[in-house]
Amino acid sequence: MLLTNATIATLRTDDTFGLIEAGAVVLDGDRISWVGAERDLPDSYASLPVRNLDGRLVTPALIDCHTHVVFGGNRAAEFEQRLNGASYAEVAKAGGGIVSTVKATRAADPETLLADALTRVDALIAEGVTVIEVKSGYGLDQDTELKMLRVARQISAKRPVDIRTSFLGAHAVPPEFIGDPDAYIDTVCIPTLRAAHAEGLVDAVDGFCEGIAFDTAQIARIFDVARELGLPVKLHAEQLSHMGGAQLAARYGALSADHVEYTTETDAKFMAKAGTVAVLLPGAFYTLRETQSPPVEAFRTHRVPMALATDCNPGSSPLASLLLAMNMGCTLFRLTPLEALLGVTAHAANALGMTDRGRIAPGAQADLCVWDVQHPAELAYRIGFNPLHARIFRGQL
Ligand code: DI6
Ligand code: FE
147-158 pLDDT, tens digit each: 999 999 999 999
With a 6 Å cutoff on the Cβ, whether 101 touches ligand 1 is yes
- Interval between CA 235 and ligand 2 midpoint (Å): 9
Per-position b or e across 285-304, b if 16+ CB within 10 A of its CB: bbbbebeeebbbebbeebeb
Looking at the chain, the whole-number percentage of residues with pLDDT higher than 90 is: 96
**Alpha helices, H only, the chain:** 76-83, 88-93, 98-107, 110-125, 142-158, 181-184, 190-198, 216-229, 245-251, 265-274, 282-287, 296-301, 322-333, 337-343, 346-351, 378-381
Q: Which of the ligands is closest to the CA of residue 310?
A: 2
Closest CA to 365 of 160, 169, 111, 202: 160
* Alpha-carbon span 281 to 326, nearest angstrom: 10
Each residue's pLDDT tens digit, 168-185: 999 999 999 999 999 999
Residue nearest to atom 7 of ligand 1 (CA): 208
Residue nearest to atom 4 of ligand 1 (CA): 316
What is the reported pLDDT for 94? 79
Q: What is the DSSP letter of 365?
A: B
What is the reported pLDDT for 90? 87
- CA distances to 26, 47, 92, 201, 218 from 326, in Å: 28, 38, 28, 29, 33
* Alpha-carbon span 264 to 217, nearest angstrom: 20
Q: Which of the ligands is closest to the CA of residue 317?
A: 1
Q: Which of the ligands is closest to the CA of residue 240?
A: 1
* Alpha-carbon span 271 to 278, nearest angstrom: 8
Residue nearest to atom 10 of ligand 1 (CA): 315
What is the reported pLDDT for 32? 98
23 touches 36 (CB < 8 A): yes
Residue-averaged pLDDT of the chain: 97
Amino acid present at 161: V
**Cβ atoms within 10 Å of 397's Cβ, excluding its own:** 12
9 touches 59 (CB < 8 A): yes
Statement: residue 214 has pLDDT above 90: yes
With a 6 Å cutoff on the Cβ, whether 35 touches ligand 1 is no
At residue 195 the predicted structure's pLDDT band, cuts being 50, 70 and 90, is very high
Each residue's pLDDT tens digit, 270-280: 999 999 999 99
What is the reported pLDDT for 202? 98
Whole-model pTM over 0.95: yes
What is the reported pLDDT for 93? 79
With a 6 Å cutoff on the Cβ, whether 97 touches ligand 1 is yes
What is the number of the ligand 1 atom nearest to the C-alpha of 284? 3
* Alpha-carbon span 174 to 351, nearest angstrom: 28
Statement: residue 95 has pLDDT above 80: no
19-28 and 256-259 strand pairing: unpaired
Q: Which residue has the higher pLDDT, 212 or 145?
A: 145
With a 6 Å cutoff on the Cβ, whether 25 touches ligand 1 is no
At residue 89 the predicted structure's pLDDT band, cuts being 50, 70 and 90, is confident
Each residue's pLDDT tens digit, 317-341: 999 999 999 999 999 999 999 999 9
Per-position b or e across 101-112, b if 16+ CB within 10 A of its CB: bbebbbebeeee
Half-sphere exposure of residue 47: CA atoms within 13 angstroms, side-chain side:
1
What is the reported pLDDT for 219? 98
* Alpha-carbon span 213 to 79, nearest angstrom: 20
With a 6 Å cutoff on the Cβ, whether 98 touches ligand 1 is yes
